[in-house]
Each structure stands twice: as C-alpha cells, then as structure tokens.
Amino acid sequence: MNQYIVKAYAKINLGLDVIKKLPNGYHQVKMVMQAIDLWDELTLEKAADGIVLTTDAGELPTDENNLIYKAAKLMRDTYSLKEGVKIHLQKNIPIAAGMAGGSTDAAAAMMGINRLFSLGIPHRELMRISATIGADVPFCILGGTALAEGIGEQLTPLPPVPPCHVLVAKPDISVSTKYVYEHLDSAGIQRHPDIDGMITAIREGSLQGVLSRMENVLESVTVPAYPIIESIKENMLELGAAASLMSGSGPTVFGIFTEGAAAEYAFRRLKAEGLAKQVFLTAPLNISEELPRGSSGIS
C-alpha cells in the first residue's frame, strides 16, 4: 500500500470533573468522552526518508510542534521504521477549541502509519504508547463513548449513548487549555458533576439521564473570561436544545437535540445569527460505526 487516507474524529465531553491537582502539576480528571462525526482527514504516503507534513490550515505548525509530526516520529522510533512518511492534513475541526483536534490528528497518524506500513500493532498497544504525546490521544484511538480518568488516559469503554443530534458552535476566540487549568481552583469546586450517575444513565440507555447530568467544571474559568460562551449556550437552549454545555476547556459549545428537524432549524439560525464563527450539525459516533474508521488504502 502506497497511500492511506484516515479520518480523525473530534470529541466532546458530556461531563467533565476535576478531582484534584496532582503534585506534578497535572490535574486528576473524571470525564465522559464522546467521539462525534466531525473529522479532519489525513492522507499518508510512504517516502524515502524523514517526516514531511503539509496542511491546508496555514496557522498550524508543520514541524515537530505539530502533534502529527510527534506521532509520526514516535512510530518511526518505536518500531524502527526505515522509510519515511509524507502526511497531508485537511483541517475541519476547530483549532484550540476543546475538541481534541490535535490529539485526534496524532491518533489518526499513528493508526494510519500502522496500516500504511502493515505493522499489525494492536490498537491497545498504540493507545499505551500514545499517552506520551498527550493525555487525550489514547481516547482518540479508542473512539466511541468512554469514561476517562487519571489525567485522561485511563479509559473505560461505555455503551453508546442513545441516538441524538449534536450542534457544535465555536465562537471566534481561542482558549488555551493551559490557561484554563492554571486558573482553576480545583480545591474550591463546590459542586462536582454526577459522572457516576451519567455512567449509570448511559448503561441504562437513558438519554434524559445523561442530559440532566451534563456539567463541566472548567466552565467556571472559561465562561467568566469569555461571556460569549454563555450567550451561545442560552441561544442553543432557546433554539430547542435539550441541554447545552462547553466542551473541554472551551470555547466550543455543543447542544444536544432529540429531534432532527429542530436541530436543523437551530443550525441554520445559529449560523445566520453569527454569534459563532464555526457551526456544525453532527452526531455521536459509535465504535462500530467508526471501524475501519472511514479509511481507505490505495495500492
């Protein structure tokens, strides 16, 4: 196989709790992660030597500061690959948005190299080594719905959430994950999201039980700094969302709709109103739907 195309799916956090700050400066989290049907596309080709990255997203680095480059280097070093790889990234996922855009590109690069070079490395092994690139990368390899603990890398797969529609809106601001965690008073969190209750609701197939527990403690930092996030959340609820929440460290907001027609109406209205620069109507993506991750190889 000389060329391989792989989709890198974005995630949202249906629930996000921070348990405590760890002595090493990281935060211990407890989150319900959900892959969604919004993706970047990576095209991988074998090359004589080295790693060459190109992208249609001019603002992104193409050197070792790009997580794709780091992932390719990790694969070459770990599995002693002699050949090089050329990767082109077509970016659709909003950048610095709380949707794990960089992490999912790294995950896709690792899975793509695994296939391109017919390495046959099991996904669980890729997940294990990928945590050195970023705590969200193992989940991006796993996909579907999962509980993430530790610093986000300890995963428990969960059953799919009941079918629903996910409206995603990113305002024209970028939020640094580092800034948000640094400004979070984790010891002072008064109300912790009911993540255990959400897991029970997922296991019972109760969408209502999931929606009523959607909370993200990072909103306490990002929303006061960027009030537009609250405006978009309120707008989504007015437009008929059953629940709305900021994803990750923000600023992306998502709304869950039970009816497709209502979701489409809200999608058009939100785009027309201009509060958010990027708006997508998408849906949860289950593991079975992802395999073989919408990929194709060209020999």
Name the site residues for ligand ATP (rule: CB under 6 A): 60, 66-68, 95-103, 105, 136, 177, 248-249
Indicate which residue of 37, 40, 105, 136 is catalytic: 136
Q: How far apart are CA 73 and CA 77, in angstroms?
A: 6
Q: How far apart are CA 202 and CA 258, in angstroms?
A: 15
Give the residue from 226, 230, 231 showing the smallest Cα distance to 273: 231
Q: Least distance in Å: CB of 140 to ligand ATP?
A: 9
| Pick 72 or 167: Cβ nearer ligand ATP | 72
Active-site residue 136, yes or no?
A: yes
Q: Least distance in Å: CB of 272 to ligand ATP?
A: 25
Active-site residue 11, yes or no?
A: yes
| Pick 136 or 290: Cβ nearer ligand ATP | 136
| Pick 103 or 235: Cβ nearer ligand ATP | 103
| Pick 111 or 242: Cβ nearer ligand ATP | 111
- CB-closest chain residue to ligand ATP: 102
| Paired residues of 28 in beta bridges | 20
Q: Least distance in Å: CB of 233 to ligand ATP?
A: 18
| Pick 107 or 256: Cβ nearer ligand ATP | 107
Beta-strand pair 84-90/51-55: parallel
Q: Least distance in Å: CB of 159 to ligand ATP?
A: 23
Q: Least distance in Å: CB of 168 to ligand ATP?
A: 12
Catalytic residues: 11, 136
